[in-house]
Amino acid sequence: MTRLHVHSASDADTATALALLDAELAPDGIAPRMLFAFYGCDHDDQMLHQYLSARFPRTARLGGSSSGGLMTHRGLQGSNTIGLLLIEDDGDFGVAAAPLGSDPAHTAEQLLLAALANCGCSGQLPELIWIYQSPGSEEAVIEGLRRVVGDRCPIVGGSSADNDVSGRWRQLGPDGPMGDGLVVGVLLPSSPLGYAFQGGYEPAGESGVVTALAGRDILSIDGKPAAAVYNDWIGGRIEAQLAHGGTVLAQTSMFPLATDGGRVDGVSHYRLIHPEMVTAAGGLRTFCNLDIGARVYAMKGDRRRLVDRAGRVAEQAAQMLAADRSRIAGAVVVYCGGCKMALGEDIDRVSVAVADNLDDAPFIGCFTFGEQGRMLDRNVHGNLMISAVVFSQ
């Protein structure tokens, strides 16, 4: 039988937060097979690693920093919080971690093999792969994982985050914290999993073809400067940045770009792309890789949709399980940090929407700067997305 437990504690001082967390854990006396740990970026995660290593020496451990706090079935937890999801199960769970290095795809491939070996499952296909990484190399990481498993199992996770996109994000693996690393977890639980991956935006009407690129910078759309085209699409919201460049995260959170991810039953699914900055040359820097010739679509969102979609994603993941909803053991949720910032105080409603659709089963949610998940039978990286992995008893 699978059982999930969620514990959290808040204090600006890491030692104090850990003492509070330990006091909350003490009555349980459980020995989890895997744990997820998320925390605000100001915490001393080396101290957290030492605590977890001593408290759960035989447990597969993974996680990292989360933007502005985290959420659980008890509600939104602030930026001083450390949260744990503990999984009791008779299945197999393995974790491996390392710096991304100069070849992130190769690193991902080797870490997946190591994670399988660490739980005695070499050569087996996991039911799910869960990843947490430094932002910037997400597509390469998925490419490396595909070398081993293709798209035969879902790859779900997020890009670790800080509070202000200043680069203070961290990843936590079995050997300790990293600043530019990748943590790969493999899950072969004794009970079925459900999973879902969606965005909370709809097409605004305009679209164009990417005609020049430099890395993640879109230089031109339909042969015209990308930032100027995009500015026209969203009603002049980044006009002030066109002359000299600048960050546009706040202005674009409700107006991302997207590529067409395919259709199911006539309904289009979109992979969202968050514009980050207007470059001095008039390009548009994003958090995703694109190809020349790709058609990008202007999208639009609103607060209600971003709240409601989190609950719908949790519900969709739960629907993959048995019809008896009492068998939901709990969940891990990834919610985009950009959406969190756009929602402001309404972010409180997201945890409520998720809890309602999981019948108040325990869950933990992190806020990330990039999201990975399975879209129409293919594992992809996107922005401003939401994922849920639901465990059954």
Q: What is the pLDDT, as a whole number, of residue 268?
A: 73
Q: What is the pLDDT, as a whole number, of residue 265?
A: 59
Q: What is the pLDDT of residues 132-145, one digit of tens each?
A: 999 999 999 999 99
- C-alpha 100/C-alpha 109 separation (Å) is 11
- C-alpha 70/C-alpha 52 separation (Å) is 18
Q: Provide the mean pLDDT of the chain.
A: 94
Tell me the mean pLDDT in the region 12-16. 98
Q: What is the pLDDT, as a whole number, of residue 364?
A: 98
Distances (CA, A) of 71 to 9, 18, 77, 333, 373: 12, 18, 5, 9, 19
Q: What is the pLDDT, as a whole number, of residue 27?
A: 73
Q: What is the pLDDT, as a whole number, of residue 294?
A: 96
Query: Across-strand partners of 34?
Result: 60, 87
Q: What is the pLDDT, as a whole number, of residue 1?
A: 83
Which residues are CB-contacts of 340 (< 8 A; sequence separation ≥ 6)?
67, 68, 347, 350, 367
pLDDT band of 267, cuts 50, 70, 90: low
> Contact 191/183 with Cβ under 8 angstroms?
no
Give the strand pairing for 81-88 and 171-173.
Answer: unpaired
Q: What is the pLDDT, as a whole number, of residue 255?
A: 95
Higher-pLDDT residue of 262 and 222 is: 222
Give the strand pairing for 378-382 and 371-375.
Answer: antiparallel
pLDDT band of 188, cuts 50, 70, 90: very high
**Please, what is the Cα angle at 302 between 300 and 305, to 5 degrees?**
105
Q: What is the pLDDT, as a whole number, of residue 324?
A: 63
Tell me the mean pLDDT in the region 275-293. 95
Q: Give yes or no for residue 162 having a pLDDT over 70.
A: yes
Give the dihedral of Cα atoms 134, 140, 142, 144; nearest 10 deg: -120
Q: What is the pLDDT of residues 199-233, one digit of tens each?
A: 889 999 999 999 999 999 999 999 999 999 999 99
- Ramachandran region, residue 23 (left: φ > 0; alpha: ψ -120 to 50; beta: rest): alpha
3-state SS string over 237-287?
A: CCHHHCCCCEECHHHHCCCCEEEEEEEECCEEEEEEECEEEECCCCCEEEC
Write the DSSP symbol of residue 103: -
Q: What is the pLDDT, as a whole number, of residue 262?
A: 77
Enter the tokens of residue 15: 């030692």
Helix (DSSP H) and strand (DSSP E) numbers for the chain = 9, 27
Tell me the mean pLDDT in the region 140-155. 97
**Please, what is the Cα angle at 193 between 191 and 199, to 5 degrees?**
170
Q: Give yes or no for residue 326 having a pLDDT over 80.
A: no
Rounded to 5 degrees, what are φ and ψ at 207? Answer: -160, 160
Which residues are CB-contacts of 40 (< 8 A; sequence separation ≥ 6)?
65, 66, 68, 69, 78, 79, 80, 81, 82, 163
Q: Give yes or no for residue 287 having a pLDDT over 70.
A: yes
Q: What is the pLDDT, as a whole number, of residue 355?
A: 96
**Alpha carbon 41 to chain centroid distance?**
16
233 three-state secondary structure: helix
- C-alpha 198/C-alpha 380 separation (Å) is 11
Q: Give yes or no for residue 189 having a pLDDT over 70.
A: yes
Q: What is the pLDDT, as a whole number, of residue 158?
A: 98
Q: Which range has the worst mean pLDDT, 53-62, 225-234, 258-267, 279-288? A: 258-267
Distances (CA, A) of 92 to 49, 109, 124, 125: 22, 19, 11, 12
Write the DSSP symbol of residue 124: P
Q: What is the pLDDT, as a whole number, of residue 325?
A: 67
Q: What is the pLDDT, as a whole number, of residue 236?
A: 96
